[in-house]
């Protein structure tokens, strides 16, 4: 497993230059601020100068005194004040002004991320600074046992495989896993008779009865006092939103203590990319082809997670592999909630094969789907209501996202307008539910 670290991320578009981060840093460090916000190109634009905690730190390489080194645990480039001879060569190594002279001490100073609790981030009122913990997520779970064998036969770049492996690494062995017919068992997780691709108890439910079978399993284990088993599904969108919906809805209504993860790749990809009720408007599928009389799907996608909110589940959330720390935080909550009631996690999952995108663009597609509001990331609890966990203040146009995907290649202006309008409506509705102001455009 490789290494990754938490990091302070800067969103220039959200920075108003208030300087509170610098004040907080200077106070925390009793000296010059290690973070510096500078005027950007144009009125009201700001830029950042801060140690990037490089993987290949040039400041450390050029240090003649061995005073700088990357901390293996935190990834922070540590400066050893006793070892340093104040030669300033490190300032020549850094391309970002991440280590510079503190005029108070006449020595160099640099960001040490306040040991994982950066003062600047806490002081930032606009969210321009964010403490991104994807690195520790990666490290924490990267070394855990993979619950699937290597060599599952997913397509190259398969996002669902990523989700499966991540989810089960996190959840571990004390689980019963349903993988209803679709890509997830299709790539060999349940396996061929005599061989299985999974280390936890795994089974094919019917496409139609996943939630019900899980409910039966959970009820019995609860009955005999084995209440700590995670009883869960990694299901596709078709089995969840179409023919298996009765079971999902019934189990949710009854409050069955089950973790239901829907991996939404917007269609029946395993059987050759047919349309499902979560296939978005305009999308090419093999049953909504593009020809003289038909230009892709003519109906909008069903918003399944919202429907689950209406069931007043113990937990409902949406997630994307574009934002793993968000996904992991939700997986945590979803697992916990599954011991209290029905817990539903909807993960949007681009399919390189069915969506006609290069495998190298899958994560980019995930990110852009969120950054354009095509995919909204939120969570719902009965106590806290609906809450956005990440929402772009300045969403990129839907066109920018859609043009990444081959399945939308045929769209005309009217169709693009339709998609944009629906996305805007959807976000407005969600904002209303989240009691957030609808963005004035």
Partner 1 sequence: MSKVVVIDGNEAAAWGAALSRPDMVAVYPITPQSSLVEYLAKFIADGRMDADLMDVEGEHSVLSVLHGACLAGARTYSATSAQGLAYMFEPYFRTPGLRLPMVVSLVNRDSVSPTCVWGGQQDAMTVKEVGWIHMFCENQQEICDTIPIAYKVAEHPEVMLPVNVNHDGNYLSYGVAKVELPDQAVVDSFLGEKNVNWHACLDPERPMAVDPLTGGATGAGPATFVRYRKGLCSGMRAALDVIVEAHADWGRRTGRHWSPLIEKYRMEDAEVALVTIGSMSGAAKDAVDEARLDGRRLGLVKIKTFRPFPVVQVAQALSKVRAIGVVDRAVNFGWNCGPVFQEVLAALYHLPLRVPAMSFIGGLAGADITVEHFSQAIDRTLRLAAGELAVEPVWLNEND
Partner 2 sequence: MMETKYLIIGSSHAALEALRAIRQADRDGSMTMLTRDGHMPYSPTILPYVVSGRSAPDRAILRDETFFAANGCAFVGNATAVGLDAKGKTVALADGRSWRYDKLLIATGAAPAIPPVPGLDGSVPFHVLRSLDDAMSLRNAMGAARRAVVLGGGLVGLHAAENLAEAGLAVSVVEMRPHVLPGYFDAKASGRIEAAFTEHGVKLFLGRTVVAVDAPDGRSCTVRLDDGGAIEADLLLVATGVKPVADWLSGSGVAVDRGVLVDDTMRTNLPDVWAAGDVAQAKDFHSGTQALIGIIPTAVEQGRLAGMDMAGDSYLKPYAGGVPINTYRFFGRVALSIGQAAADGCGEVAEQEGGGYRRVVLADGRLVGYASVDEPFDVGIMGELIRRRVDLSGCKEDFLSRPLETGRRLMSEGWR
C-beta closer to partner 1: residue 75 or 239: 239
Q: Residue 219's binding partner, choosing from partner 1, partner 2, none, with beta-carbon cut-off 5 to 8 A by kind?
A: partner 1
Do the Cβ atoms of 124 and 20 come closer than 8 Å? yes
Tokens of 135: 């690195």
Question: What contacts 275, CB < 8 A, 6 or more positions away?
Answer: 267, 268, 283, 285, 286, 287, 288, 297
Segment 322-351, which members bind partner 2 (CB under 8 A)?
none
Give long-range contacts, CB 8 A cutoff, 24+ apart: 38-42.
40/12
Is residue 397 part of the contact set for partner 2 (CB under 8 A)? no
Is residue 36 part of the contact set for partner 2 (CB under 8 A)? yes
Is residue 18 part of the contact set for partner 2 (CB under 8 A)? no
Is residue 205 part of the contact set for partner 1 (CB under 8 A)? yes
Q: Residue 220's binding partner, choosing from partner 2, partner 1, none, with beta-carbon cut-off 5 to 8 A by kind?
A: partner 1
Choice from 45, 104, 173, 382 touching partner 1 (CB under 8 A)? 173
Query: Other C-beta atoms within 10 Å of 433: how many?
Result: 16
Handedness of CA 270, 272, 277, 279 (dihedral sign): positive
**Whole-number Cα distances in Å, 212 to 175, 248, 353:** 16, 7, 31
Is residue 193 part of the contact set for partner 1 (CB under 8 A)? yes
Q: What are phi and psi of 360, to 5 degrees?
A: -70, -10
C-beta closer to partner 2: residue 87 or 429: 87
Is residue 393 part of the contact set for partner 1 (CB under 8 A)? no
Size of the site for partner 1 (CB under 8 A): 43
Is residue 94 part of the contact set for partner 2 (CB under 8 A)? yes
3-class SS at 380?
A: strand
Q: Of 46-54, 136-144, 187-195, 340-348, which segment contacts partner 2 by CB under 8 A?
A: 46-54
Q: Of 20-28, 52-60, 205-213, 356-364, which segment contacts partner 2 by CB under 8 A?
A: 52-60
Question: DSSP per residue over 323-364, as a string?
Answer: SHHHHHHHHHHHHHHTTTS-EEEEEE---HHHHT--GGGHHH
Tokens of 397: 């146009």
* Burial label, 103 (beta-carbon count in 10 A; 0-12, 13-18, 19+): exposed
C-beta closer to partner 2: residue 86 or 117: 86
Question: Apex CA 401: angle with CA 424 and CA 428, to 5°?
Answer: 10
DSSP state of 295: B
Q: Of 57-65, 235-243, 247-255, 383-391, which segment contacts partner 2 by CB under 8 A?
A: 57-65
Is residue 142 part of the contact set for partner 2 (CB under 8 A)? no
Is residue 224 part of the contact set for partner 2 (CB under 8 A)? no
Is residue 47 part of the contact set for partner 2 (CB under 8 A)? yes
Q: What is the CA radius of gyration of the chain?
A: 24
Residues interacting with partner 2, by CB under 8 A?
A: 10, 12, 36, 38-41, 47-49, 52, 58-59, 61-62, 64-66, 83, 85-89, 91-97, 100-101, 103, 106
Residues interacting with partner 1, by CB under 8 A?
A: 173-176, 185, 190-206, 208-209, 212-221, 223-224, 229, 246-247, 249-250, 253-254
């Amino acid at each position: 497993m490789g290494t990754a670290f938490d990091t302070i991320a800067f969103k220039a578009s959200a920075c108003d230059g208030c300087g509170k981060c610098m004040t907080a840093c200077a106070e925390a460090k009793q000296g010059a601020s290690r973070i510096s916000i500078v005027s950007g190109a144009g009125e009201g634009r700001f830029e950042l100068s801060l140690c990037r905690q490089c993987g290949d730190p040039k400041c450390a390489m050029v240090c003649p005194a061995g005073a700088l080194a990357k901390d293996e645990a935190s990834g922070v480039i540590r400066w050893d004040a006793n070892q340093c001879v104040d030669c300033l060569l490190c300032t020549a190594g850094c391309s970002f002004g991440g280590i510079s002279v503190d005029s108070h001490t006449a020595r160099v100073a640099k960001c040490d991320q306040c040991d994982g609790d950066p003062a600047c981030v806490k002081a930032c009122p606009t969210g321009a600074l964010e403490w991104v913990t994807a690195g520790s997520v990666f490290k924490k779970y990267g070394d855990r046992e993979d619950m699937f064998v290597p060599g599952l036969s997913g397509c190259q770049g398969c996002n669902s495989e990523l989700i499966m492996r991540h989810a089960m690494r996190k959840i571990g062995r004390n689980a019963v896993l349903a993988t209803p017919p679709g890509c997830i068992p299709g790539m060999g997780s349940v396996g061929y008779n005599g061989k299985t691709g999974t280390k936890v108890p795994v089974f094919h439910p019917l496409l139609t009865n996943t939630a019900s079978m899980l409910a039966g399993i959970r009820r019995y284990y609860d009955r005999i006092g084995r209440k700590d088993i995670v009883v869960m599904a990694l299901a596709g969108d078709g089995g969840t939103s179409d023919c298996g919906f009765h079971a999902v809805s019934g189990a949710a209504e009854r409050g069955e203590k089950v973790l239901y993860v829907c991996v939404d790749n917007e269609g029946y990809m395993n059987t050759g990319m047919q349309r499902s009720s979560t296939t978005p408007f305009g999308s090419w599928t093999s049953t909504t082809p593009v020809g003289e009389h038909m230009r892709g799907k003519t109906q909008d996608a069903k918003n399944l997670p919202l429907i689950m909110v209406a069931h007043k589940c113990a937990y409902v959330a949406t997630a994307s592999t574009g934002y793993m720390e968000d996904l992991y935080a939700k997986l945590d909550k979803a697992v916990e909630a599954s011991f209290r009631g029905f817990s539903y996690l909807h993960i949007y999952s681009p399919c390189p094969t069915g969506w006609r995108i290069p495998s190298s663009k899958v994560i980019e597609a995930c990110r852009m789907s969120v950054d354009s509001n095509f995919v909204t990331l939120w969570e719902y609890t009965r106590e806290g209501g609906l809450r956005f966990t990440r929402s772009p203040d300045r969403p990129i146009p839907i066109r920018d996202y859609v043009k990444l995907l081959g399945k939308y290649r045929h769209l005309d202006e009217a169709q693009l307008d339709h998609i944009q309008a629906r996305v805007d409506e959807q976000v407005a509705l969600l904002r209303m539910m989240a009691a957030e102001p609808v963005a004035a455009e």
